[in-house]
Amino acid sequence: MSFSSTLFSHNIRFATNQLSNPNPKLHNLNNRRSLTVSAIGTDTLDGTTLAVIGGSSVAALAAAISLSDPEKRRQLQAEEVGGGDKEVVRDYFTNDGFQRWKKIYGTTDDVNKVQLDIRIGHAKTVESVMKMLTDEGSLKGVSVCDAGCGTGLLSIPLAKEGAVVSASDISASMVSEAQKQAKEALEGKDGVQIPKFEVSDLESLNGNYDTVVCLDVLIHYPQSKADGMIAHLASLAENRLILSFAPKTFYYDLLKRIGELFPGPSKATRAYLHSEADIERALQKVGWKIRKRGLTTTQFYFSRIVEAVRA
C-alpha cells in the first residue's frame, strides 16, 4: 500500500507544479488568477490521492476547501462497512482497491502516467530499503517481518537475499497475490526460502524478528494511533525497525486538502500525513532512535524512510 498524488478529471484543465519540488514558493500561486486542477482519469483516484495545485490564490483555495466535508464522507464509508479506518482499509484493499493497486504494483503496460509514476516511486522506496538492510551485511538467515506486505514487492527481494521473511497484510486479496508472485519468482531457487504469508492487521502481529519493516502503511493511521502502532512494531524487532510514511509539511497538507475536494471512489480510504518529528518522538518513547533517513520523490509519489535502532 502506498501514498500517491494524482490528478483529477472533468472539465477543469491543469497546469502542474512539479511535486518533486517539495518547497514551492507559495507567493507564485497568488500571481495566478484561475484555479486549474488537472485531469487524468478517475480510475486512479482513491483515498491516498492528492490534487496538485496549478494556480489560483491561496484565498480562493481556502474558500474552496471550506466548502468540502471529507470527514463526513469518511464517516459514511466507515458506517457502510461497519467499523472505523481499519475496516475501511480492509474492505477497500480486498475489494474495490485491489485490482487498481495490483495493476499499479504489477508489470502490465495498461497503466496511465500517474500509475506508472507511483509504481516507479514505490520501487525506489523498496530499493532504498534494501540498500539500508544490505549495507549492514548479508541478510542470509536474518528474520524479517514485512508488515503490510501488499503484493510482496519487498518480501520477494528479501527472500532472494536469503532472509527468512514473515509477511502479512490486512487484505486477503493482497496476500493471495503476494503468495502467487513469490511462488513464481522463488520456487526452486537454491538457498531461498519462500516467505510465510498471512492475513493480519498490524495490531495482531506477534513474534520476534531481527528486523521489522513497515512501508507506506502508516498513512492509514492518525498520529494518535500511529504512536501505538510504532510502539507495537518496535516490540517485535530485536535490532532494526524501518518505516516509511507520507511526510506532513505545509505544502503536502495543502495538496491533501485540495484532493479531498474530489472524493473519488466511494470505498476510498482515509489518508493521514505524519511529520518526521512526530515519528521520531514516537520512537524515542519506546527507546529507539533514528539512525538513517531517506526520501523518495517522483512527480506523483513521495515517501519518507527512517531506519531506527535501539537507543
Q: 266 in a domain, yes or no?
A: yes
**Would 31 be classed as within a structural domain?**
no
Residue 71 lies in a domain: no
- The model carries a pTM of 0.74
Kindly state whether residue 24 falls inside one of the protein's structural domains. no
Interior angle at CA 108, CA 106 and CA 97, nearest 5: 50
Question: What is the spatial distance between Cα 137 and Cα 87, in angstroms, rounded to a whole number?
Answer: 39
**Alpha-carbon span 173 to 183, nearest angstrom:** 16
Q: H or E element: which one contains 248?
A: none
Which of 271, 222, 224, 215 has the alpha carbon at shortest distance from 243? 215
Residue 170's domain is classified under what CATH number? 3.40.50.150
Residues with Cβ < 8 Å from 188, sequence gap 6 or more? Answer: none
What's the number of CA atoms in the CB half-sphere (13 Å) around residue 157? 12
CA distance 106 to 13: 29
285 falls within a domain:
yes
Domain of residue 248 covers 85-310
Question: Phi and psi (nearest 5°) for 174?
Answer: -65, -45
Predicted pLDDT of residue 263: 52
Question: Which pLDDT belongs to residue 76?
Answer: 53
In a domain, residue 300? The reply is yes
Query: Rounded distance, CA 127 to CA 177, Å?
Result: 21
DSSP, collapsed to helix, strand or coil, labels residue 167 as strand
Q: Which pLDDT tens digits describe the chain residue by residue (311 residues)?
A: 444 333 222 222 233 333 334 444 434 433 333 333 333 333 444 434 333 333 344 445 444 444 445 455 555 544 454 456 788 888 888 888 899 899 999 999 999 998 999 999 999 999 999 999 999 899 999 999 999 999 999 999 999 999 999 999 999 999 999 999 999 999 999 989 999 999 999 999 999 999 999 999 999 989 989 999 999 999 999 999 999 999 987 666 666 666 655 555 444 557 889 999 999 999 999 999 999 999 999 988 889 999 999 99
Note the pLDDT of residue 299: 85
Question: How many domains are there within the chain?
Answer: 1
- Angstrom distance (rounded) from CA 258 to CA 145: 35
Instruction: Tell me, yes or no, whether 6 lies in a domain.
Output: no
> E strands, 126-203, where?
143-147, 164-169, 196-199
In a domain, 16, yes or no: no
Distance CA 22, CA 273 (A): 14
CA–CA separation, 42 and 6 (whole Å): 9
Instruction: State residue 267's pLDDT score.
Output: 44
Q: How far is CA 4 from CA 117, 119, 140, 173, 194, in A?
A: 9, 10, 33, 21, 29
